[in-house]
Structure 1
């Protein structure tokens, strides 16, 4: 028996390759599926099953493509309905894979069809669970993402409580836990950085598995602090439910080199968004007018999903050399399949062609402090809500303007007013600055973010948790 976790850091997502006696199961595959086919062929094995723990919302799974390539059966939990052929498993149904078996444990709560897959080894022992978004290390899945469900968040949280108590917690403490996500995923709020654990540790340390926890306490704690899901979640879930274009055609369309004239003509004719994925420093020092920055070195795909509202938006790319295919691939993982090409030679070729280039004013934290003393400037803190509440600059001229909701809050600021933007370290503030600049706002980036601002004499507010008496 062989189990391999294939972890993708930018999505904080774990796919799994399981092999026994020449037969393979893939759990929650990524969009680019050739890697699984190649691996199975190298092991002289055949992919027999593709198990999906649920309709994923934070990425487009590769199950449809992989089934077409291999003839493998796609298996979902009870009640799953799709526009393509699947096997909708019964609760406790067992699938034979070589010398091992995989048992379906229906664990609704995160979504209605959510299931945990229990691997039973050659000796008949419960060996591991592939828990999807039902159970993470340190957390459980958010109960607000069910596709077209008539149930409330409270109803789904109650179902999740029952699933954990009745299906997961009775399993032995030495059962290995392989979750679908780790820290960085928006599918939970307290995920561990670890990506593999054992169930006994979760029973001891995971707040949601406390033995003395009532159903009402569980519902309250699981729902507490949940922020609205990113706008692309429901759209990705529907793609996973309804199907999508094959990855190879998406890559072929997007991985096309364009000279500056071709690039500009397509941008104008197709109304394409120019997406610059280089570093923030490179973008600040020179970029195509009205282009948007989301650096590929940061939380690229989730930020694209949060900020680019239309999955069908035509996109043209400015990438570091050699990162063109990777960028198209990572866009497709979250459903952005309409990439039309990239600028050959990058920004240098644009400049050599004599076309316009713009820059962003970026100042140090010390300079911001000096300007703040000289006049009452307007400061936008684009960090997440929890970061802002924990600590932030103080003053009537300081406003929380979370990047996550920038499209919703654009009307709350004035194009006649200069704004100074900062985040925690500098990545997100350049994203926000690029978006606002493209919309005609007067914006200045603060390099180094809040980490640098804390070293100045600017007044700050630090939140202190009240003592419980």
Structure 2
């Protein structure tokens, strides 16, 4: 028996490779499938099955490309309808994998087709369960992603999830290993734990959602405080349901080096210039109108949240990082990549083209400016919950994921001296680049964000919101 978790931290996604006697299966693969094929080749195994736990909303799965490359069968749970060939399994159906077997446990609630896969050894003993978005470490899947399409309420889905957990998961032995599809940072739940695997026993004892004394209590627990899902979630779910172009075709089309002249010719009102360099490099100089989302953070997730899927994207990357920038975009469904700037930003500078910059300031400089500047506005782009817990007094909260909302920047004008911060500095540069793109240029980025501000308690006044105090 061989089990390998392949975890991708930037989108908090876990895929799994399982093998016995030269026969392998992959569960919830990413769109870039080379790692699974290479692993099978290294182990001299063949991939026979691709098991999908549900229609993923936070990334585009690699099931179609992997099936085309290996001849493996794509397996979904009951209630699945697709526009490409799959095996729709019955609840309780068993698939042999060498000396092992995988039993399908239909667990609707996160979505209607959500299913878990229970791994048994050659004696029939339960070894591990691959829970998808049904059960996480410390949390369960959010029950609000299927309601519009299926006219089912969030509460109805939460009720289904309760029944699924009680009937299919809770009866399992404490030592059964839990392998979920996501870890901390994922928007597929409210508060996923830091560990990427656990056991049934540990989850029974520590997972808040499994502590509920009744179905009604469970529904309340998992629906209260549930934020709005990222806007790209329904797009990705639809792509996974309907099918997609192969990743190779997107690479061939989008990984086109453009000279400065060619790059300029592609720029128009409908073009997005995405700069994937680290924020510290971006602030020192960039192509005017660029949006910075650095590869060193949750790049694909923020791109899916903030950028249009309908407009062509031109990439400015650190030389050698162009392909990674493109592939990570395709993981969340972007397919209109128009090329990249050959030679990166240095080529743009060397050509004598105009550049833009963002002024970086240290936290103590902000502290010195505050008492003497009546036009100073502090913009905190952290999440509402982060802001509620503690923030600089009188700071304006515009969460980054709401920056595109109509009216979000209504209170920002060029006459103000705008200081932007997040928690550590990654999100604030994204926000600053987006605000600059809207024509507001009198802005400064607070290096180190709120973490740095907190190191100067005597120089700032802090407060909590009423919600946090209660």
Aligned in 2, Cα 1:45/1:320: closer, same or farther, shift over 3 Å? same
Q: CA–CA distance in 2 between the matches of 1:29 and 1:53?
A: 10
1:257 is matched with 257
The structural deviation recorded for 1:273 is 1.0
Q: Deviations over 1:179-211 (max 9, x none)?
A: 00000101111211111111111111111112x
Shift of 1:283: 1.0
Q: 1:459 — aligned with what?
A: 461
**Which range is displaced more, 34-43 or 2-11?**
34-43
Checking the alignment, whether the CA contact within 8 Å between 1:313 and 1:336 is kept in structure 2 is no
CA–CA distance in structure 1, aligned partners of residues 201 and 33 of structure 2 = 33
CA contact (8 A) 2:387 2:464 kept: no
Query: 1 CA distance for matches of 2:74 and 2:261?
Result: 45
Equivalent position of 2:38 in the other structure:
38
Q: Distance in 1 between matches of 2:328 and 2:467?
A: 39
Q: Please state how far the C-alpha of 1:362 moved relative to its aligned partner.
A: 2.1
What whole-Å deviation, never above 9, does each CA across 1:140-175 have from its counterpart, x for those lacking one? Answer: 000011271211000000100100000000011111
Deviates more, 1:41-50 or 1:347-356: 41-50
- The equivalent residue for 2:235 is 235
Q: Secondary structure at the match of 2:18?
A: strand
TM-score w.r.t. the length of structure 1 is: 0.95
SS in 2 for 1:274: strand
Q: In 2, Cα distance between the equivalents of 1:347 and 1:114?
A: 44
- Tell me the secondary structure at the aligned position of residue 328 of structure 1: helix
2: CA distance, partners of 1:146 / 1:97: 32
Deviations 1:111-152 (A, max 9, x none): 000000001111110111000000001110000112712110
CA contact (8 A) 2:389 2:468 kept: no
d(CA) in 2 for partners of 1:45, 1:394: 60
Unmatched runs of 5 consecutive residues or more in structure 1: none
Q: Does the 8 A contact of 1:415 with 1:440 survive in 2? A: no
Q: 2:273 and 2:220 mapped to 1: Cα distance?
A: 43
Alignment-derived partner of residue 216 in structure 2: 216
1:329 equivalent to 2:327? Answer: yes
- Given that 2:381 and 2:398 are in contact with CA atoms closer than 8 Å, whether structure 1 keeps it comes out as yes
Distance 1:407 1:463 in 2: 24
How many residues end up aligned between the 2 structures? 463
Contact 2:388–2:468 under 8 Å retained in 1: no
Rounded to whole Å, the distance in 1 between the matches of 2:227 and 2:13 is 20
**Structure-to-structure mapping, 1:404-423, within 5 angstroms:** 404-408=401-405, 409-418=407-416, 419-423=418-422
TM superposition shift of 1:21: 1.4
How far apart in 2 are the matches of 1:6 and 1:453? 37
Partner of 2:126: 126
The residue correspondences of 1:126-275 to structure 2 (distance < 5 A) are 126-146=126-146, 148-210=149-211, 213-268=213-268, 271-275=270-274
Match of 1:295 in 2: 294
